[in-house]
Amino acid sequence: MEAMSVLVPVFGVFIPALLLPGPDFVAVVRSSMTRGTTAGLLTTVGVSTGLAFYATLSLLGLSAVLVQYQWL
């Protein structure tokens, strides 16, 4: 029960933050509105590629840490 008293405020901040649009959303909408659908789709591909790259680097870094410190 003590864990719930900690998690409720965290979720109270985290969930609304997930619902708010971020800079990627703004970039895609702006590109679509000013340059058309094709530019919006290309912006989406670029954003997705960048996020996949960051996720891959994060996983590789985590793997390296876990290999180095097996007790974790």
- What mean pLDDT is reported for the chain? 90
Measure the CA–CA gap between 28 and 69, rounded to whole angstroms: 40
Confidence of residue 32 (pLDDT cuts 50, 70, 90): very high
pTM for this one?
0.67
Burial 32-46 (b: 16+ CB within 10 A, else e): beeeeeeebeebeee
Query: Cα 3 to the chain's mean position, in Å?
Result: 26
pLDDT of residue 70: 82
